[in-house]
Amino acid sequence: MCLQLHNEFVHTMNGYRGNGMNRTYEASHFVAPDSDVKLPETVDWRTKGAVTPVKDQGDCGSCWAFSATGSLEGQHFRKTGQLVSLSEQNLVDCSGAYGNKGCNGGLMDYAFQYIKDNGGIDTEEAYPYTAADGDTCEFKKKNIGADDTGFVDIESGSEDALKAAVATLGPVSIAIDASNNDFHFYKSGENTLMYIDSTTVTFPMPQFNRESIYNDQLCSSKRLDHGVLLVGYGTENGQDFWLVKNSWGKSWGDEGYIKIARNAGNMCGVATAASYPLV
């Protein structure tokens, strides 16, 4: 992944627009299982076949679309046993009336509402991703890959509720603060290119261990700017973590994934704005 100057990169790639979006749609609210229900110590929905391969949003602030399709892909799999890759481009091009702004950002809940009202979303194969705003909506009903009947919001700030949701229901759409350099450089040290005033500069990246758990005290739990997909959780060397799928390609992070500290004060806002579609 080629990195641009930091501010430009954040503006382009982090397209979650929680602030400034003033539309509201009716959501159901997650009800956690009884306290005597024992949740598994480790969850990884990839091992159950509920997660499609890592995708790449390119130079387009469509992270919200990738987060939404990822959660619906998981829910559709749980319902039908079929893992179908869904079209982010369908959401980018067609959900503007619901408040989304294509490559300039959007919200996962708006995407879920569009899919409900539209009667479904096309498959990735039928409506492939272009990393750009389309001139027209090319949705075709015959190419629908999945649908939803609404969406559920999880109690904001509750890591316990989020754990219960991902353990019992499947992958969950979440929003995080991904504005810090440490997040962008979450990968084993490699040389990376940065373009500065049309000049290409090659420099070694900081030696972050991609197997380590991301724990950045500068990461905000309220200033959220990036939509991602929560696919599980666990504990490693005594430290709890969330397992998160990003949409910056497999060359980023741990083959496209990151482990974010869990039970660490809602690190990066993992539990602040979590939701999933109903199917």
Q: Report, as residue numbers or ranges, the catalytic residues.
A: 63, 226, 246
First to last CA, the chain: 34
Interhelix angle 63-80/108-118, nearest 10 degrees: 50
Give the angle subtended at the CA of 13 by the CAs of 210 and 62, to the nearest 5°. Answer: 115
- Classify residue 263 by burial, with Cβ atoms within 10 Å: 0-12, 13-18, 19+: middle
Is 198 buried (19+), middle (13-18) or exposed (0-12) by CB count in 10 A? exposed
Q: What is the rounded distance in angstroms from the CA atom of residue 194 to the CA atom of residue 48?
A: 38
| CA pair distance 140, 198, nearest whole angstrom | 41
Cα-trace Rg, the chain: 18
